[in-house]
Chains A and B, each alone.
Chain A
Amino acid sequence: MEAGKTRKRLKANKALREIITQFYADSHRAKAEGRPVGWIPPMNGLIELFYAMDIAPVFPENWAPVCAAIGTNKKNFEYTAKRGFSGDLCGYFRNNVGYALEGINEENQPLDGLPEPDFLISFGAGCIPTMKTFQVLCDHFDVPVLRADLPQVAMEDIKEHHIQYAVAQMKRLIRFLEEITGKKFDIDRLRQAVAYTDEACRLWDELMSKRSTIPAPFSAAELGIMFVMVTRHGTEIAVNFLKGVLQEVNEKIARGEGVIPNEKLRLFWDNIPLWYNMKLFNYFEKWDAVVVAETYSAAWSLRMDPNKPLESIAYKTLVSYPLVSCVSLHKRLELIVKAIRAYKIDGAILHSNRSCKPISMGQMDIQKVLAEELSVPSVMFDGDHMDGEKFSMAQFQTRIDAFMEMLLAKKDY
């Protein structure tokens, strides 16, 4: 199977395309109008602050999947390699560094590319490749930088002093943004942004829970809808879009309409998707199998309290990395076990991802728990979420084919 167009079946994808186009257009418009554009790491609680202060956010980490989907990742990798960076580094790092240092200057980029930053937020926190990506950017772009940090703490170990330290960082960020924009921060606007995020997360949780329906109304092939959870938190855009998706999904369920006509197997996916080959999620359909739950999509949802806006965004930022990584294997396993039960999973696919050590470490433990505690078979394949050269479709097929046949036999098909 060639990496081609993913078969997406939700009508909402049309609205999503418009949202994606608008998101990038907004940042270009801000630049053209002389409003500051900030590049920020995927520290999730920052976005509400940006929208509350009318600042167009740019997420290099979100741009990377776009590059992978359109194929410009390879060129960006070359630009990075040319500067002496190892090919073993994370694909997001290699793409984003290559893009920022050279790819950004190319003509005729899809979505017009990214506007150059007017300021940068560089956090000591998150994974090392993200932290180092921003250090390269700070070295390259001659713009104001806020250097901040966050505790690296497991979700179940978060104490008051962790939250208070994160709140202190948010306050520093507010002072920095006030200086950059010359505008006064308005806590009521942040409250509103937090309320939008909370509502978006409520809708997201409800939407995801619908996938426990048999047959499942949509699969991981539709994961592009996550775009609003990453880039449009804090806005009504995410809320309205997710309401639309939920309505469509509810209608499908009412009609008893699954992703595929004859669902036989329900699968769980661990780790980041292969952004250059999202069609992989359709591969399972030839065995009437659907990927109905993932670790990655669960990480973007968190209920928030508009009455405590600063604490809410601080907490959201604190858990954004530990929730998906190996900061707490214990928490990760707990989430997986819960999902395996809730979504009535028959088998799990684990993407051993060379580009993401923090998410990949612990996967052997996940397999053990699946086998020993839940009697759920699993299979692991080698890949990379950004670099197609580190993924072999032939090897994937060999592994997956045997696994799917075993799962079908186990269910007496």
Chain B
Amino acid sequence: MSTKFKDLYDRHIEMIQEEQRKNERLAIGTLCSYVPVEILHAFNILPVRLWGQSEDISQADALLQIYICPPARHIMALGLAGHYDFLDGIVHSYTCDATCGLFNIWCRNLKPKFSFLLSPPYIDIDEAIEYSLAEHRGFITALENFTKKRFSVDRLRRSINLYNEARAYIKEIYDVKHRGAPVSYLDIYYINLCLQVLPVEMLISLYQDYLLAAKEMVSKGSGKYRILLSGSVISDVDIMGLIEQRGGDIVVDDTCLGFRLVQDRINEDEDPLTALVKYYLRRPPCSSRADFPARKNHVLEMISLFDVDAVIFMHQKFCDPHLSDHPFLKKVLDEKGIPQMQLELEEEEGLTGQVQTRLESFFEILEGK
């Protein structure tokens, strides 16, 4: 595993603060992958996905009940601990109820200078495009008022181009891994994460270098079980590490961070804002925005595209969308004869003995097949 992207992620807050100081750029927090970062970037704003685990999640108790999912509570605890004090604002795009509640509570208690909640459409009909355009124009107007800068279509075009390029490299990294390059999923995890928290223009050449190196290493493959990792906000790198150590090779994911976000390209041949809203509407939807047929199609498509042997669901405790989908997806996989297992993660649980044992048993079952 290369530690380059992990190191970058570990230093992202200090790097952003430096960028704020040196280049007088604003930094705005995002709570979800549905926030159109391209628009923020077009205003020369640094989008920073709020992510990670706090040292003391109990700090969130003052504002969020214990039956709210651990990622939301961790982010709240990080905010209360001052971890994100450098931010100039926060933007959310309505996906799950928990993050919407978190957004509201964050705004009320941490009082960001700028906040905006977008409501993207769920279904792809003509009216949805018109509606979404109006919704995004509202967002642009709010940013114009906040930054005192005029929105520029050309700048948006350039931002889209940069994100397209970065996403295309990441997509290709998944592809070379699939073709046998010994790339650790942990690398891919941090590569994805960096695009959420660091300036895109800084990352493109790094992605390119990584891809070139990975291409050199394409071999016959690892001989490990090809795993699809499915869930929402997953940051438990220890568990990902154990899966790989135990004989799994996470070749693709279906999470709030991974392949879904890089799979498609924003069309650069049409009006940039129209192309952008179409991308967010037509991208494979997350559980909170998808119906069952859409979830089924996406999971089966990933299984086929990446020759997946088995699926590991990593679900956060109290995650309504994923826990509601799971029995349906399990049924779909059972019918196709694809082995699957579900890990439900408790607060501060991480890689416990129980998780280890369950993973061990799962791989033993795979070996016995």
Name A residues whose Cβ lies closer than 8 Å to a Cβ of B: 83-86, 88-90, 93, 122, 124-125, 127-129, 132, 135-136, 138-139, 147-149, 151-154, 157, 159, 161-162, 164-165, 168-169, 172, 325-330, 352, 354, 357-358, 360-365
Contacts and interface: CB of A to CB of B under 8 A. Distances in A.
Nearest to A365: B108
A152 B318 contact: no
B324 A152 contact: no
Contact of B327 (A83, A128, A330, A357): A83
Interface string B50-79: 000000000000111101100000000000
Contact of A161 (B64, B108, B131): B131
B172 interface: no
Given A152-B119, A165-B128, 8 more contacts: A89-B323, A152-B100, A326-B101, A330-B104, A352-B65, A362-B104, A364-B64, A365-B109
Given A89-B320, A139-B328, A364-B62, A328 B135 contact: no
Given A153-B119, A361-B104, A325 B97 contact: yes
> What is the interface residue range for chain B against chain A?
35 or more
B101 A362 contact: yes
A153 B325 CA distance: 25
Contacts of B63: 364-365
A89 B69 CA distance: 12
Interface in B96-138: 96-98, 100-102, 104-105, 107-109, 117, 119, 121-123, 125, 127-128, 130-131, 134-135, 138
B317 interface: yes
Interface in B126-170: 127-128, 130-131, 134-135, 138
Contacts of B327: 83-85
B97 A127 contact: yes
A132 B324 contact: yes
B323 A88 contact: yes
Contact of B97 (A88, A128, A154, A354): A128
B298 interface: no
Interface string B309-332: 000000001101101111110100
A139 B289 contact: no
Contacts of A360: 65, 67
Interface in B272-321: 288-289, 291-292, 317-318, 320-321
Contacts of B9: none
Contacts of B317: 88
A164 B325 CA distance: 31
B97 A149 contact: no
A357 to B, nearest CB: 6
B244 interface: no
A131 B317 CA distance: 19
Tell me the interface secondary structure of chain B in the complex: helix
B67 A165 contact: no
A88 B317 CA distance: 8
Given A88-B323, A151-B131, A364-B62, A330 B291 contact: no
A43 to B, nearest CB: 13
A361 B289 contact: no
Contacts of A364: 62-64, 105
Contacts of A83: 327
A148 B97 contact: no
B135 A365 contact: no
A372 to B, nearest CB: 12
Given A84-B330, A89-B320, A161-B134, A152 B101 contact: no
Most chain B CB within 10 A, of A132, A136, A358, is at A132
A124 B104 contact: no
A41 to B, nearest CB: 13
B108 A90 contact: no
A147 B324 contact: no
The 10 closest A-B pairs by CB, nearest first: A124-B122, A361-B101, A161-B134, A132-B324, A149-B122, A84-B327, A326-B101, A329-B104, A165-B131, A152-B94
